[in-house]
Amino acid sequence: MQLKKIAFTLLIGAAAAMAATSPSFAAKKKAKAEAPQPMAWCFQQQTPVCATRGGLKMTYASTCFAEKDGAKVVSQGACGAKKMSMKKGGKKKK
């Protein structure tokens, strides 16, 4: 009879230990929600867009690529190049 009590106590203790160490349903759900999303492929038509990221304007092949890079699309078409200005009177004396 004493052996049955010891075995039963060990069984209850093992079940309690397993229940305490396993993550709860909410923790499993949270971990599942935080799983990274699979990368989507950009198979759409490649039309260039101008987008900003980190204060810089960049030309992307399509809206899909810009969004994947975390950029915000500003306009359709490639970004215009900045014109360099030259100072007047830059001629050298002979």
pTM above 0.85, yes or no: no
Q: How far apart are CA 78 and CA 24, in angstroms?
A: 51
Distance of alpha carbon 50 from alpha carbon 60, whole angstroms? 6
Tell me phi and psi for residue 85, to 5 degrees: -100, 140
In this prediction, residue 66 carries a pLDDT of: 92
Task: Give per-residue pLDDT as tens, 2-24.
Answer: 888 888 888 787 777 766 666 66
Domains with residue ranges and CATH for the chain = 45-81 (3.30.60)
- Paired with 56 in beta bridges are 53
Average pLDDT, integer, range 83-87: 62
Evaluate the CA torsion angle 50, 69, 37, 40 in order and state its sign. positive
Spatial distance between the Cα atoms of 10 and 16, rounded to a whole number of angstroms = 10
